[in-house]
Structure formats: C-alpha cells, structure tokens
Structure 1
Amino acid sequence: MKRLYMIGGPMGVGKTAACRQLQQLLDRSVFLDGDWCWDAHPFQVTEETREMVLENIAFLL
C-alpha cells in the first residue's frame, strides 16, 4: 500500500528538514518539494501560472 504524506506550514518552520529526516527513516521513499514549481524569473503568480503549477504537481503525484 502506498502512502502520501503532505507537509504544510509557514516559511522557516522546518518542513524541508523534517521531510529530509522522514526520507531517511522511511524505506523506498521519495521527497517531492513543491517549492521548485514556483521558482520562476520573474516571479508572477497569475491564474495561468497557478494552474500550470497545480497541474505539474498533480502530474508528479
């Protein structure tokens, strides 16, 4: 059975650090960091870019 853990919270609380620790503790695990989906220059959130990011994340999952 596959499990999906979603970790959320404000910036700087240790989400990435906690996920990296979980990745080491859980056998056959994958860490998908959604932050890279928003890494664009220039950074502009529009309805179009928001939809693109959500589609890309859903595709990865």
Structure 2
Amino acid sequence: MQQLHLFGSVVTDQLDPARSDVDAVVSFPPGLDLLTAANACSTCGTPRKNSSAGAWTW
C-alpha cells in the first residue's frame, strides 16, 4: 500500500463503533493491485480487535 486515506465518520466525532463502517481510499504502487495485496494479507493471520486500544491488530 502506498497511501491510505480515511474519511467519513471514522475521522469525526460522529463515529459509532456499533454501527459505523470505515470509509477508505487506498492507492498502491505500480505493479501492485488490490488482489495481490489481499492475497499477501491473507498470509498475515486473522485480524483481531484490541479492545484496550480500539484498533485492529494482526
């Protein structure tokens, strides 16, 4: 991934963890596409929510 831009409620005080989704725009460097990146991520394991930090970790 080259750049990740988040927008919508996730970057405002309107975020509702029970109902909000995450809106994102991702750009990849030349030669890397979404399918290749998704396949690479599948080898990283299962993402889990870190409840103390409120973030996802692998």
Q: TM-score, normalised by structure 1?
A: 0.27
Whose relative contact order is higher, 1 or 2, with alpha carbons under 8 Å and at least 6 apart?
Answer: 2
**Greater share of strand residues, 1 or 2?**
2
TM-score (norm: length of structure 2): 0.28
Q: Which has the higher helix share?
A: 1
